[in-house]
Amino acid sequence: MKRNRLLLALGLMLCCGLAHAFGLEDLRKQLSEPEVIKGPFIQEKHLRALPQPLVSTGQFVLARDHGLLWLLQSPLKQDYRLNASGIARRDAAGWQVIPTRTAGTEQNKLFFAVLQGDSSGLERDFELALQGDARAWQLRLTPRSLVLKQIFTGIEIHGGQFVDRIELLETQGDSTVLRMPSSTSTTLTDAERHDLVD
């Protein structure tokens, strides 16, 4: 009798633990909850042919209902916008839509999906494996399609309340590491709103 009660108690504990496990839907809700997230970014491109990574820095603004501003500040100044209309780059004449089938734009779309917590979009192209809890989690993306398998061996994403690190591992041995060390939930400025909805 005692043994049965013990097994029942262990079973209930296990079920309760599974019921409270941190899953993909929990992650999606957590990442899509803030209306606006802003912060600095540091991007390192590690190329096999170079002894040191290529480093670029800037600021990003992610607005849940409007899109993403990617404001590169170093080594050169260049502003990008990603929204439902596609990817655009700012020049002297304003925002100019750029072709959407380049490697860079595909990478930007991927960053956008990750930052938004768009797990359904990611699941179309990758197998997702999540570990950890709401405070410290790691998401591993393994490419499904042959096209993506030719580009990436995998993608590692780390975060807590927000995404704070993305690493793209490429089949040729190169990699890109994107760090967002101090993102905050905030509101849009008038200028940012104008840039996103223009």
pLDDT tens sequence across 78-108: 999 988 778 899 999 999 988 766 555 566 6
Supply the range of the domain harboring residue 115.
26-197
pLDDT, tens digit, for every residue of 107-152? 666 766 776 667 666 888 889 999 999 999 999 999 988 888 888 8
pLDDT at residue 5, as a whole number: 46
Number of domains in the chain: 1
17 belongs to a structural domain: no
CA dist 88 and 177 (Å) reads 23
Tokens for 5?
């009660």
113 belongs to a structural domain: yes
Of 9-23, 41-55, 69-83, 91-105, least confident by mean pLDDT is: 9-23
Of 58-62, 65-69, 98-102, 149-153, least confident by mean pLDDT is: 98-102
pLDDT at residue 133, as a whole number: 94
Handedness of CA 99, 101, 106, 107 (dihedral sign): negative
Token pair 């967002």: residue:
180
13 belongs to a structural domain: no
Q: Number of helices and strands (H, E) in the chain?
A: 6, 12
65 belongs to a structural domain: yes
CATH number at residue 107: 2.50.20.10
Amino acid (one-letter) located at 2: K
6 belongs to a structural domain: no
pLDDT at residue 13, as a whole number: 42
Give the pairing of strands 54-63 and 67-74.
antiparallel
